[in-house]
Amino acid sequence: MPIITIFGATGTQGAAVLEHVLKDGTYTPRAVTRRLNSDNAKALIARGIEVVEGNLWDKESLKKAIKGSEAVFGNTNFWDPDIYPANPKSEVTQGKNLVDAAKEVGVSFFLYSSLPNATKESNGLYTHCYHVDNKAEIEEYLKASGIPYATICTGWFMENLWNFGSLVKTDNGYDIPLAIYGPEDKQIGTWISHDFGQAAVKVLHRFKENRVEVLGKAYPVVSYRFTYPELAKAIGKALKKEVTFTTLETTGSAELDEAFTYGAKFGMYNSTPAPNPDLVALGVKFGTLEEFLEAEVVPRFA
């Protein structure tokens, strides 16, 4: 089987892609990690998955990791301590290293996890949303490289409810305390483990079937569109407990505050319905909000 090299395979996005690649069986996954001796890497190795070392600061290590692959799933982590908060623009360097390595090795297809350009989308109003704009800049570099590519894009990770403490226990039930977003502001939600991984696999399939259809195309993985009071109500119904929403003044991070303000005031993927019909047409079976709550939230919080 052809190989797809998956970067970030021990993180939320990469792990979702890895699991769906395994389930699908069309590609053999190769997971990339910075440390083969990490617990997450050892767990993948124990499952019989090929795991190789690669460092996004070191292009030669990336070429070795990618060599022999037909496809690459690439993403970069703005929240890496080497990048944020000390040098937030350096994420672009990592992304360019990855693109250069893929081009020099000669991969057939590069699937990149991207985001919109907040500076452009806001007409220059918000210019410090680095974790968003960096990925858009890397995408432009990928486009200019000539590598056959497509992008898949995320909204707010639904897994943030437990991975980042966005659902907090109270005396009467739970609360969603979130900065900047008001009760009327719409949010885009992506069920990463269920929908994002599927989307990656389906785009890979369509590339093999009809590459012209997907080349250069962006696929926002829009699972849900909601206000946070609507989400709180749905969670409360699933848990049979009171769930409230509280707007906080700040995240404690100027970068995140600006990114949240951009998202709340301008929105993301405004022309894309939920679920994204382009991905539905490729065969993605999006999970409903009720299915997400029953599968992920009830076992953790009930």
Question: What is the rounded average pLDDT of the residues 3-13?
Answer: 96
127 confidence band (pLDDT: 50, 70, 90):
very high
209-242 pLDDT, tens digit each? 999 999 999 999 999 999 999 999 999 999 999 9
pLDDT of 299 reads 98
- Quick one: pLDDT at residue 21? 98
Per-residue model confidence (pLDDT) at position 66: 98
- The fraction of the chain above a pLDDT of 90, given in percent, is 100
**Rounded mean pLDDT of 13-25?**
98
177-209 pLDDT, tens digit per residue, is: 999 999 999 999 999 999 999 999 999 999 999
User: What's the pLDDT tens digit per position in 74-111?
Assistant: 999 999 999 999 999 999 999 999 999 999 999 999 99
Confidence (pLDDT) at 268: 95
In terms of pTM, does the model score above 0.85? yes
| Average per-residue pLDDT for the chain | 97
DSSP collapsed to 3 states, the chain? CCEEEECCCCCHHHHHHHHHHHHHCCCEEEEEECCCCCHHHHHHHHCCCEEEECCCCCHHHHHHHHCCCCEEEECCCCCCCCCCCCCCCHHHHHHHHHHHHHHHHCCCEEEEEECCCHHHHCCCCCCCCHHHHHHHHHHHHHHHHCCCEEEEECCEECCHHHHCCCCEECCCEEEEEEECCCCCCEEEEECHHHHHHHHHHHHHHHHHHCHHHHCCCEEECCCEEEEHHHHHHHHHHHHCCEEEEEEECCCCCHHHHHHHHHHHHHCCCCCCCCCCHHHHHHCCCCCCHHHHHHHHHHHHHC
For position 53, what pLDDT does the model report? 96
Q: Look at residue 76 in the predicted model and tell me its pLDDT.
A: 97
